Amino acid sequence: MNTGTTIERYVILERLGEGGMASVYLARHGILGSRHALKVLRPELANNAALRGRFLAEGRIAAQIRHPNVIDVTDVVIAPGIAGLVMEYIEGPTVDKWIDARKTPCSLEELLAIALPILDGLSEAHAYGVVHRDLKPANIVLGRDRRGAMRPVVLDFGIAKLEEDTRVQHQTHMPTKIGTRMGTPAYMSPEQIRESASVDVRTDVFACGAILYELATGHLAFAKDNEYDTMQAIVDGTFTAVQRHNPAVPAHIADAIHTALASSVHDRFPDCASLAAALVGPIKAATPARPAKPKQPAKAPQPVATRAPQTTKPTPPAKPAPPAPRRPWRGDALLNGDTVLPLRGDDARCGRSPDCDVVIDDPSVNPVHCVFAKDRGRWGVTDARSTLGTLVDGNLVVGRTLLKPGQTITVGRVDLVFREA
């Protein structure tokens, strides 16, 4: 379609891309002026009743799910020879283009910033009985939320499988033929290759494993010379260990990816939440516990000299005085719920690392996320080039931002309240 073409209430502004079944356009609502992504079925397919029904079923499936990391479908447009889905427009690169542009494996913080929201969004979809079945880097876009933090979003539930309620399957008229392979070879699960009708949420776990492998190493987990050999490698479960490509990947991340890529569904994580927990598990325990004092070896018994019996009782030893109660911190601090995080001195590094002055044990927080500093009696905060940014009352910190008592500082996804003595 050409620029300026009007379809019902929407005016075409430009073409954004094209897939196997549809083209995607940037469109403007003719009355509201809002911008949307409009996905229109290719003209040669629009008159095919089965394909048209499957395409419109994508909208009905996605419209069931309300999650910030799943694309929001807001409307449909139907005209002679035209079938389209109206979606929120998210400005940003897809993960495949983001990987190609950087040409190096991503950092642990970047990997988690992409993986954890996506796994959470998929968990929400799975709760509705929806399996995506075509997860790949090209189906994840990296947008930004209103605070400027990265917002990964899953696209394209067009070949998703409604597995829980056969009544919903009949309502959506999804013409997925039993035994038909659906998906992209390098990210397809073994069971999907054998028979797509038998898949469940674990096929999305496998695809996430393949995406995480690519993010962590810069290589495809299953990359052969042709499609047949690629699918054979997937079925056999043969791939190079993550740390062979990138030794810097932490062992627990590599183990989580390997488990997600298990060829047997019984050896794989049962759901996306379990994969997410494996990715962040060791980080949750990153702050070391205070080591116990080593036990002193027992002293050898000393010979006791024989004395004449005493006529008076010895004076009993005085009882030790009870320790003085620990006084709560009354100085400047950050409040994390009921936990008081003191701001001592004139500056304090804040992050996930146990070496920081203010330690926040959360996977969304960088090892050193931001720095609090006191100048002329006023505390301020500066972001330390963190992945998700630092915000004060919802505003992204750029440079140094002065703080007032009661303000909320968002570090990663953790909200802290500034308290002044």
Condensed to tens digits (0 to 9), the pLDDT of residues 138-149 reads 999 999 888 888
Q: Give the model's confidence band at 400: pLDDT under 50 very low, under 70 low, under 90 confident, else very high.
A: confident
Residue that wins the pLDDT comparison between 214 and 313: 214
Among 72, 75, 100, 134, which one carries the catalytic annotation? 134
Q: Does pLDDT of 309 surpass 80?
A: no
Give the pLDDT of residue 299: 52
The tokens 């050409």 sit on which residue?
A: 2
User: Higher model confidence: residue 287 or residue 262?
Assistant: 262
pLDDT classification of 92: cutoffs 50, 70, 90: very high
Range of lowest pLDDT (13-22, 320-329, 363-372): 320-329
State the average pLDDT for the chain: 81
**From residue 258, how far is each of 104, 212, 255, 263 by CA, in Å?**
20, 10, 5, 10
Distance CA 242, CA 292 (A): 36
Give the residue, 164 or 408, on which the prediction is more confident.
408
Q: Predicted confidence band at 326 (pLDDT cuts at 50, 70, 90)? A: low
Report d(CA 398, CA 147) in Å as an integer: 12
Task: Quote the CA–CA distance of 347 and 166 in Å, as a whole number.
Answer: 60
The pLDDT of residue 332:
92
pLDDT above 90 as % of the chain:
45
Banded pLDDT at 162 (limits 50, 70, 90)? very low
What is the longest distance spanned by two Cα atoms in the chain? 118
Measuring CA to CA, which residue among 61, 23, 38 is closest to residue 162? 61
Catalytic residue status for 355 = no
Does the pLDDT value for residue 61 go beyond 80? Answer: no
Model-wide pTM > 0.85: no
User: Nearest 5°: CA angle at 308, between 306 and 310?
Assistant: 120
Q: What is the pLDDT of residues 237-277, one digit of tens each?
A: 999 999 999 999 999 999 999 999 999 999 999 999 999 99
R_g over Cα of the chain: 29
| Residue appearing with tokens 């008229």 | 173
Q: In degrees rounded to 5, what are phi and psi of residue 15?
A: -90, 130
